[in-house]
Structures are given as C-alpha cells and as structure tokens.
Chains A and B, each alone.
Chain A
C-alpha cells in the first residue's frame, strides 16, 4: 500500500513488547500519550482485564455513578470535567446510557478554556442529534465563539455548526458565518463554506440570498475553500442542473488545472493530484452535461485528459477512472470517448483484483443499456462472476443480467435470479429482486405456464416482504385479461390448476400474500375448471381457515372466495358446516362473515346478483347516497332521535365544550394572564397572547410548537427517570477476555485478495463448455442487429401482457372505492367483491376523504372571506404598483426626502435657466418611478434624480445636465461605497462627453445590503471645464425603496411561515378612518408595497420581500381597534424596519 505504511511497519517490532507495562514512553512526540496513565487509562485497562460481560456492566455502572456525582458536584473544576467527559464518551461508546452528562458537555463547551472547550464540543457532537432539545442551549456559545478573536475558537464553533445545528436558529449565526467568508485565513473560510453547505442541506431557502457568495468561494485562491464550495454546487446542481450551465466553463477549467497538477503538492494523494476534488468535479460535469450536447461539448477534452492521466496503478486512479467512465456515459455521447471508456471497463472487469472486478461490473451495469455489445464482449467474465463466492459480485452480476433481459433469454435469467433468492436471506435483497423478477415475468413471459410458475416462485420466495404492488398487479392482470379472450381463459385456468396443486400438499406453509392471491383466484375463476368439484375446493379453503398460521386478513380473503364459490353452487355441505362453525366464533369478523354468508345462501337470487361471475372489472351501480334509508332516518327523527353528526363535527363540539368548562383548577392560567397583560407593547415570541380566542390558525399552532421551550423533554434529564440509567443490551460478544492487541495498525495490513484463479477455470474444459452454453443462452438476442431495439424498458412491442385501457380501470377502482367508502362507514364489513383492489381502494378512500375535508374547509374559508373585495384579492402587480404611484407623495412624505418636493423657487430657477428638464426614456416611463427631482447643482452642472422601482432592484437614474454653452469632457460620476447599500456592477460611471446644453443619463441598480429604515448614498461628479471641478451629492434611500410585493399562495405562505424564525409582534392602534381589517390592509398594501395573500375573517396575511430575495411575512389580526401585526423573516432586522413603517403609515392615515 502506501509508502508511509511500509515505513511504519519496520519500526514496529521493537515497540510491541512495551505495551504491557501500561504507559508507553515513546519519543514520537505526539502529545496526549501520557493520558494512558490517567483515570481513563485505568478504566480502559480494568475493562479489558474483566472476563465477563456481566462484570463489565457492573464496572461501568459503578463508573457512571461516580461520574454522575462528580459532574453534578458544584466544586468540580473544568479540568476535571473535561476528564469526566472523555470517560463519558467512552462509556457511551460501549453502549451505556449517559444522558445525565449531556448538559454538562454543553456547559463545558461554554465555559472551558480551549482544550476543555474542544472536548465539550466533541462530546456535544457525539452525544446529541440534530433535533435534540438541549442543542438550543449551545447556540449562544457558538455565537460567542464565532465572534472570538481566537482562531481556534472560531474553528471549533464552525466545526460544530457544520455537524449539528438546530435549524430554527440558523438566522442567529448566519450573518456571522457570512462574514467569515471574507476571513484572511483559508481554514476559516473553508469551514465557513462547510457550515453554509450544512445550512443548505437542512434549510435551503435560508441561504438563498448568498448564492453569489458561493460563487466567490468557488473562485477562492485557496484550493481547499474551492473544494468545499463544490459540495454545495454538487448539491444544487443535483436539484436543478439547468440553473448552473453557465458555470460549466469554470468547472472544466478547474478540472483541467487539477489534472494538470497545478495545485499545491500537498493536495496530492499518492502522487495523484487532489483525487477527491477531481471526482467531485467529474460528478458535477456529468450532471451538467446530461442530455445537453452543447454543454457536453465543453467537457470532452478534459475528460479525455483525465482518462489519459490516470495511469498509475493505484486504487485512487481507478476510482477516478470509474468516475470518468460514468460521466462519459452520462453526458451526451461522443464516440471516441465512449470507446476509451469501454476499454477502461474492460480492464476493470478482467482485473484479478476483486474490488476492481466489482467496480467493473458496476460500471457495466450502468452503461449496458446504452451499449449492449459490451455485455457480449465480457460474457465469459459475467458467467464466471455468476458463481462468484462473494455475494456482492453475484448480486451485481444479476443486476446486470436484469438489465439485458429480453424475450429470448428471460427464462434463463429469471431462473438465475430465483436461484440466488432461494439462498439469500437478506430481506432487502429479496425485496429488490422479487420486484425485478415480477417485472420481467410480466414483460417478457414466453408462456402462460411459465408466467404462473414464476409468479408462484415470486410469492413463495418473496414471502411477506413483497411489495404490495406485485400481488395487486398480478391479480389485475388476471382480471382484466388481454385482447385475446381465449388466452385469458387459459391463463386463468392454469392459475387455478396450479394453486389447487399447491394446496394439495398438506403441510406446506405459504406466505400470507400468496394465500390471499390464491384464494382470490380460486374464488373468481375456479368454475372455469370443470373437472374439479367445487366441493373439493371449498373443503380445501375450509381447512385453510382452521390453520393457525393464517392471519385474520387472509381469512377475510378466504371467506370472500368461499362466498363467491358458494354463489354458483346450488348447495354445499361444506358451506353449511362452515357457517355453523363460525357463527359462534370468537373472532367477530369471522362471525360477521359467517352470518353474511348464511343470509346470502338463503337468498340465492340476491347472491347471484351481488356476485356475478367474472365481473370484478365491471362497474357496480350502488346508491351511494343511501337514499333507500331516508324513510328509516325520517322515522327515527320523528321518534325524537338525535340527528346524525359526522365524526369531525362531534369532535369539534367536544372540543368547544371542553373550552367552556374548565374543570382543572389551575390549568394553564399562566398563558391567559400573560395575554391580558401583554396586549400592548412588544411581546416575546413565546408570550402566547392568542390564548383561547384565536381561530385554529395552523401557522400559529405550528409556531407554538417550535418556539416554546420543550420542557417535558428537559425535565426528564433531571427527573427520576434520569437517575435510573436504563439497562441496555450490550453490544458485543460474551468472550471479553480480550487482550488489547498491540500490533501497529498498519502492521498486518491485509493486502488485496489474491487473484481469482481464472487459469484454473481455463484448464477445466468440461466446465468451460457448460459455461459457453450458458453464455449462449444468456446473451441471446444481444447481437448488434437486435441489440438496441431489444434493450431498455421502453420496449413495448414484445411486452406480452398488455394492459387494456388504463383510464377505464382507474375509473373502476375509483367507483369501487366510492362504493366502499360510502358503504363502509355504516355497514361494517361488507362482502368484498373486488378484493384485488383492496390496497388501491384504501388509498383512494384516504385521498377522497382528505379531499372532501379539504373541500369543506375551503367553503368555510370562502364564506368567511366573502366580504373581501374581489379586486383586492386579485389585484396583480401592475395594479398595486400603480396604486403606489398614486400615493407616492404620502409614501415618502415623512422620510425627509426633499427631492420629492423640490421647492418651487428652485425648480422655477432651474427651469428658467435651462430648458433642460430631463425625462425618463420611454421604457422606464412605464415602470413605477418617482418624479424627476433635482439633486444638486452648480453653475455649470445640474443633477437630477429619478428612482425607478423595478421588480428586481431599485434603479437610480441620474441625469447630468450641462448648463453651459461648452461641452464637458470626461465626466465621472462616482458613488461612494456605503455600508448599507450595494451597487450592482461598478459604482462609477463615465460620460465621455456631455454636449453643451444637453442632458446625459446614467443608471445604477441598487440593493440594500444592511437593513436600515433610511440611509444615505452619497457620491460626486467630477468634470473638467476650465478648472477641475467637483460636485457632491447625496441621495436618501428608504427601506421602502427596496420592498417589493411577494406574490405567493396561502399554502406556500404557511410553509414559509413555519420555516422562518425571526419574529416580531406588535399591536398597532388603528386609526378610526380605517377600522376594518380590509381597509387597514389596503393601506398597508398601497403604502408599503405588500402583497395581500389572503384575508379570512379578522385575520389577514401579507407577504413582501426585500430585494433581492429576503422574504418577510406578516400576519395581521384585528381586535378591539388594535391591529396585531406579527412579522416573520429570515433576517432579523427586516421585521423591525417594516414594523416602524407600518406604525408610521397607520398613524398618518
């Protein structure tokens, strides 16, 4: 293996003897060796000295008890605490519960010095999981450490953040981490990118606004930072490859540089430059180039080079080659590359190293559908692998065969897979392959007998892990039949015969699903077989019913089958016996079935009607409204019975009753007192002011759940249960007489397993022949001529069992389910005429019910919302913008922006001096914009400003007007950099020349970087006339300039609401002029450019966004003249800013 390893091996023997003496005095210089003498060391040693599992348990319990006493003692030093933590981690690893220490781990991370902190953080990352309640307590520490000036502390905080961090608290650290992207140390930048990657994974919408920062990270001068950013890109491209096509060039260039060895030498791994980076890039390229000839074009060269460069005989180069091959076959194909890749696969497959062989097979499986000829080339190897002793190779080979199956080789391949399945015990593998066999059988079946037999094998091997679709599809296939009626009959008959034969065996145990299938088929089609007495079948089914291994679900199927058979026999002893037997069964379901059967048997005509022969696919007309019961109901009501209430209504009433009468004397009085005291003024997010009076707004309740501190969970840790550590089964074996082995880790490193003895195989010519034969059967139909058309799953021509008409079928099911649905609620178990579709029916019922309930709530909402003006709800962007244009003056009246009300005199003055009143070009004129106002002027120049509120930015249009009679050359307009604002593109603008008496225009798009209610953007104009001249100006920008309505649906609003965590609540007094909610919201909509999402009763939701894309959601509710506004946004400052604006607007109106 590696050189390092070899070198270390030579040093070993001398060290081996020393370990027994405990502490090992080694000069290697690594710190921490001493700790072997510490208490941890003695703990470990005493554990290894023990002989039984029981003793170990005792010792550890002892240790845990003493640890618990130590950590909870107030005078424990942090240093000791650190020691304890390490021992706790050790106990936890051995499988003992040590949750009492979790809180102390957090404390240690918070209070300790660097070393202690590090252990604290480590313990936290090992003990806690992402949704652990205690994790919230860590947030403060992380924030503090992120702000620390000590690099190591920052590193630790970033490391923990990128491992576990509560999603709700991301906004608290996000800005800090964003700052770190500009840090001078590359390790900090890299870890910051990692943390952002983590955030992207758990809450993608919270980091949406920093996508451009990812781009910066991609261009970072340090390769480590760049590599870290690739994780984010791989993820984003996986989700949406079309959005990042423009980066293809960059990725290709990076890969070129990496492959060309341009990276620092310490990124090399066994003299291969940055293999992890290469593979990451290859994957990204594969995703980008998929089905895209133009993008693929860009990467052909670099892929070719990667293939060429990866020559060294080492695992890592093979890993790269494998990835290259996959990418080449994923992107738009190019012939030469495919050829090279195929050669590579060949090398892999033929390799004597078993790991490589496996990878070769995996690659082959991946490409086989594009290039079936490759399978032909390697057929002998594939055959060999079929009998390989390593199960993973065998499995991959079968996977490969599955992909090359066609009508001609299906029998052999299915046989091979079934053979494998019979030996395999792994549930997951069985599930996987059983599905595949069923699919192949359905698609390529050569004959009825084979099909039925294969399916029998599937059901008996698959047992009860088979996917429910398999029996359902199978039965549907039987029931619906094919285009050829005669064929149908034969298939069904064969099925019946084979099942009867199977049931003949007395003691056979069949899986439940198989029994269900059998009984359904027998029930439906047994009458097709004329030479068997129905009595015989009934007896068999009857005996099945009495078996103990049959579950009650299966019994239901069997009973249905018996009922069906009974319907076309005149009278049967077995049925009578059965009715008698089960009429007093303890199983209520069975008793019900027996009674049903009994009644049906008494009325043969009804029975025939109810259970027509071979009509399971036909529609059944059912009076779903149960109108025939109307008389009965009316009679009942007449006698004074209570009217029927549906379940949800009863539940609601029950709830409201509970509200009215509170029998608990001290229950939850806290919340109500808080709501009364906290009606005005800012409220903390957990001060639940909406006590009992709120309508069940789902968003609110969701919020309650996420933001209230979950006390129950915490209490447990200190409560009684916490002191009684649960006894858990210990991991490990009984023989604990294990002496710690002393050999160097790298000592006996197991080399790659020796070559498969393929030479041996060659010598056995007999065996060889057999294999040749197998090959010819397996790879038949894969020839170059037949190959392509036969491959792939789109191959419908050879599909044997073609479904009839799908639409019809689904309708049937739906109707059937409708029937079941309506009937089931009142009648209990009905005789099931379509048991084959039970699964689907249930599914449908669920969705139907859901739909129904949704529908009803919709209508409720509609009713509530009827007072909302329709126009208001549907007003689109333009309308709103024009609204806001009308109200501009009021919008900015308070913001001290004089430019909007230039004093008449100055206007007059400028007008008189220069006839140059600038105006917007036509294309901007259509957008909402402010009036053109003067910014400043000198003798020679005048500056005017117009704000244009475009959808995606604030467009500042500055007009520079030359008042003199001579032209100015080289006029430079420069905006000073402001903290709050970001000017897209460059902050300067250069006018080459401004003619005399003319106006030039410059436009800049601006975003708000840091939220403030108002900020000043200043700048200056330099121009050259007789002398150098400089003119300064400043522009006041308000937060509202950057707010745009956000059009989202109520549903999206709900989702977004739950994902946001910064919230601000405030009650605002509503002016008398607009005391209704719609009026107030209308005002807000017009003046703050908000989007009204929905208004329901006295509640309304609004949404807006701060450019470029920071959303802010509002929830408003009116009560007694107050407007309770609740903001939520990923950015903490935004709600404050908006709240201020809201207050102002409401005061003014």
Chain B
C-alpha cells in the first residue's frame, strides 16, 4: 500500500497516510486528482481504478470514502478487505463509528491505523489485540 486517504463526499480530506516519500506539493496534487477521480465515478462501477502505474482501491462508507493506492501485482480484493477491517477496528474502538468521530478524533484514527498497518503492510490481523493495544495506552495516560 502506498498511501491511504479518507475523504468525504464533499471532497474534504479527513485523513492521509503516506507510505512513500513525496514532496508536499506533489502530495497535494495527487490528493486533489484522486478525490476528483473517485468522486466522479459511478456507483455501479467496480471499486478499482487505474491511476498512473498504481491502482486505487476505494470503498464508500456512508459519506466517507476510504481509498488505498496499491501496486499492480497486489491483490485488489484483499485491499478492499483491509479497508473494511480498518473500519471495523474504528467501529470497535469508537463504538458505532461515524464521520464525526474521525473528524474530531482524527489522531485516534491515526493511532489505530498505525497499529493495523505499518510501512504499507498489514500487521495486526487480530482485531482484539489491535484495539487492546490502543486501549492499553489510553488507560495508562489517565
């Protein structure tokens, strides 16, 4: 996975995580381009888009789009499930997650993402331990 973007239906970026090094300008350009591509897509089309030499895999949950960029030889369906697992993790942590949770607690969403995916590779596939890791650190601070 090269990067993950979360954005709303209005095209507002909610979360961005890059697993490749790019200058800021480039990133902004890419974000704008991708949001435009995905928002303009028909709902009946597949969840995959060719984009440059990468593939975008995206999925919409309510008003929020989750989008990952992967390489040609990666498994698209699996990436789709990565997204879903992330949403499940968020759901488990926030308890019934909605876009507001992510907007107002985006740092928490990042923590969960870091627990789940590191350096572009899925790490913790056990839902329980991922959430537990976050909760543990939440506990300690209080």
Decide if A198 touches B103 in the complex (CB within 8 Å). Answer: no
Among B35, B94, B126, B138: residue with most chain A CB under 10 A: B126
Which residues of A from 379 to 428 have beta carbons under 8 Å from B? 389-393, 395, 426, 428
Interface residues of A in 894-916 (CB under 8 A from B): none
List residues of chain A with CB within 8 A of the CB of B87. 5, 745-746
**Is B62 within 8 A of A744, CB to CB?**
yes
Task: Give every chain B residue within 8 A of A72 (Cβ-Cβ).
Answer: none
Minimum CB–CB distance for A1101 against chain B, Å? 32
> How distant is the Cα of A89 from the Cα of B17 in the complex, in angstroms?
12
7 A-B pairs in the complex with CB atoms less than 8 angstroms apart: A2-B88, A89-B107, A94-B13, A227-B123, A426-B50, A741-B62, A742-B98
Cβ-defined partner of B10 (8 Å) among A44, A228, A733, A744: A733
What 0/1 pattern do residues 91 to 135 of B give for CB contact below 8 A with A? 111111111111111111011001100110111111111000100
Q: What residues of chain B lie closer than 8 Å to A269, measured between beta carbons? A: 81, 85, 125, 127
1/0 per residue, CB under 8 A from B, across A101-131: the answer is 0000000000001110011001001100111
Question: Could you give, for residues 745-785 of chain A, a 1 whenever the CB lies within 8 Å of some chain B CB and a 0 otherwise?
Answer: 11111100110000000000000000000000000000000
Query: Does A73 reach chain B (CB closer than 8 Å)?
Result: no
In the bound complex, CA of A275 to CA of B81 (Å)? 10
B62 shortest CB reach to chain A, Å: 4
- In the assembled complex, the CB of B16 is this many whole angstroms from the nearest CB of chain A, namely 6
A1039 to chain B, nearest CB (A): 36
Contact B119 A354 (CB under 8 A): no
Interface residue A342 (Cβ < 8 Å from any Cβ of B)? no
Contact of A355 among B9, B48, B107 (CB under 8 A): B48
Known: A194-B119, A732-B12. A28 touches B77 (CB 8 A): no
Task: Specify which chain B residues have a CB less than 8 angstroms from the CB of A197 in the assembled complex.
Answer: 119, 121
Chain B residue nearest to A99 in the complex (CB): B24
Given contact pairs A4-B91, A8-B91, A35-B104, A753 touches B80 in the complex (Cβ within 8 A)? no
Q: Does A491 contact B (CB under 8 A)?
A: no
Within 8 A of A (CB), among B4-24: 8-17, 21-22, 24
Quick one: which of A156, A264, A741 has the most chain B CB within 10 A? A741
Whether A95 pairs with B52 at a CB distance below 8 angstroms is no
Return A851 CB to nearest CB of chain B, in Å. Answer: 33
Contact A33 B105 (CB under 8 A): yes
Known A163-B119, A748-B63; contact A224-B21, beta-carbon cutoff 8 A: no
The contact of B78 among A274, A279, A728, A731, by CB within 8 Å, is A279
Known: A744-B97, A746-B87, A753-B45. 18 other contacts (CB 8 A): A12-B98, A93-B13, A131-B21, A159-B114, A162-B118, A224-B129, A276-B78, A355-B76, A391-B50, A392-B48, A428-B53, A429-B50, A733-B11, A738-B8, A738-B10, A743-B98, A745-B102, A747-B98
Of chain B, the residue at the smallest CB distance from A28 is B95
B76 touches A41 (CB 8 A): no
Q: Check if A32 is an interface residue, CB within 8 A of chain B.
A: yes
When distances are taken between beta carbons in the complex, the residues of chain A under 8 Å from B47 are: 355
Q: Are the CB atoms of B53 and A95 closer together than 8 Å?
A: no
The answer on a CB contact under 8 Å between A745 and B80 is no
Q: How many residues of B contact A (CB 8 A)?
A: 87
The answer to whether A277 has its CB under 8 Å from any CB of chain B is yes
Contacts of A753 in B (CB 8 A): 43-46
Cα distance, A259 to B14, chains bound together (Å): 37
B78 touches A319 (CB 8 A): yes
- The answer on a CB contact under 8 Å between B104 and A187 is no
Whole-angstrom CA separation of A198 from B108 in the bound complex: 23
Q: How far is the CA of A356 from the CA of B92 in the complex (A)?
A: 28
Asked whether any CB of chain B lies closer than 8 Å to the CB of A1012, the reply is no
What are the residues of chain A within 8 A of B121 when measuring CB–CB?
197, 231
- CB closest chain-B residue, reference A82: B107
Whether A731 pairs with B13 at a CB distance below 8 angstroms is yes
In the assembled complex, which residues on chain B have CB atoms less than 8 Å from the CB atom of A315? 77, 80-81
In the complex the two chains form, is A114's CB within 8 Å of B140's CB?
yes
A362's closest neighbor in chain B, by CB?
B76
In the complex, whether A155 has a CB less than 8 A from a CB of chain B is yes
Give every chain A residue within 8 A of B63 (Cβ-Cβ): 741, 743, 745, 748
- Indicate if A11 sits at the interface (CB-CB under 8 A): yes
| Chain A residues closer than 8 Å to B10, beta-carbon distance | 733, 735, 738
Quick check: A318 and B77 within 8 Å, CB to CB? yes
Q: Which residues of B lie under 8 Å from residue A357 when comparing CB positions?
A: 46
Instruction: Identify the A interface with B (CB < 8 A).
Output: 1-2, 4-5, 8, 11-12, 15, 19, 24, 26, 28-33, 35-36, 40-41, 44, 86, 89-90, 93-95, 97, 113-115, 118-119, 122, 125-126, 129-131, 150-152, 155-156, 159, 162-163, 187, 190, 194, 197-198, 201, 223-224, 227-228, 231, 264, 266-267, 269, 274-277, 279, 315-316, 318-319, 322-323, 354-359, 362, 389-393, 395, 426, 428-429, 728-729, 731-733, 735, 738, 740-750, 753-754
B residues near A745, Cβ cutoff 8 Å:
61-64, 87, 90-91, 97-99, 102
Q: How far is the CB of A455 from chain B (nearest CB, A)?
A: 25
**Cβ B61 vs Cβ A114 within 8 A:** no
Q: Would you call A44 and B103 a contact (CB within 8 A)?
A: yes
Identify which of A86, A224, A359, A742 contacts B77 (C-beta below 8 A): A359
Q: Which of B15, B21, B59, B95 contacts A129 (CB 8 A)?
A: B21
Determine whether the beta carbon of A741 is less than 8 Å from that of B99. yes
- Tell me if B95 and A198 are in contact (CB < 8 A): no
Q: Do the beta carbons of B28 and A95 come within 8 Å of each other?
A: yes
Task: Give complex CA distance A444, B29 in Å.
Answer: 41
B125 touches A201 (CB 8 A): no
Q: Is the CB of A155 within 8 A of B133?
A: yes
Partner of B126, one of A11, A155, A224, A395: A224
What are the residues of chain B within 8 A of A231 when measuring CB–CB? Answer: 121
Q: Which residues of A contact B101 (CB under 8 A)?
A: 30, 33
Q: Is the CB of A728 within 8 A of B28?
A: yes
A235 to B, closest residue via Cβ: B121
Partner of B123, one of A126, A151, A190, A732: A190
Are A89 and B106 neighbours in the complex by a CB distance under 8 Å?
A: yes
| B137 x A118 contact (CB < 8 A) | yes
Whether A159 contacts B122 by the Cβ 8 Å rule is no
Give the distance in Å from the alpha carbon of A1 to the alpha carbon of B62 in the complex: 13
- Does B2 make an interface contact (CB < 8 A)? no
Q: Is the beta-carbon distance between B8 and A113 smaller than 8 angstroms?
A: no
A130 to B19, CA, bound (A): 10
Contact A114 B137 (CB under 8 A): yes
A126: which B residues are within 8 A, CB to CB? 17, 110
Do residues A11 and B77 form an inter-chain contact, with CB atoms below 8 A?
no
CA–CA, A429 and B49, complex, Å = 12
Contacts of A162 in B (CB 8 A): 118-119
A395 adjacent to B50 (CB under 8 Å): yes
Is A152 touching B104 in the complex (CB atoms < 8 A)?
no
How far apart sit A423 and B47, CA to CA, in the bound complex (Å)? 21
B136 contacts partner chain A, Cβ-Cβ < 8 Å: yes
Q: Which residue of B lies closest to A733 (CB)?
A: B11
| Bound-state Cα–Cα, A747 to B63, Å | 9
Give every chain A residue within 8 A of B15 (Cβ-Cβ): 93
Task: Give CA–CA (A19, B99) in the complex, Å.
Answer: 11
Q: Check B98–A731 contact: CB distance below 8 A.
A: no
Inter-subunit contact A44/B104 (CB<8 Å): yes
Which residues does chain A contribute within 8 Å of B61, judged by CB atoms? 745-746, 748-749
Docked Cα-Cα span, A4 to B95, in Å, equals 10
Question: Closest B-chain residue to A40, C-beta based?
Answer: B104
Chain B residues whose C-beta falls within 8 Å of the C-beta of A5 in the assembled complex: 87-88, 91
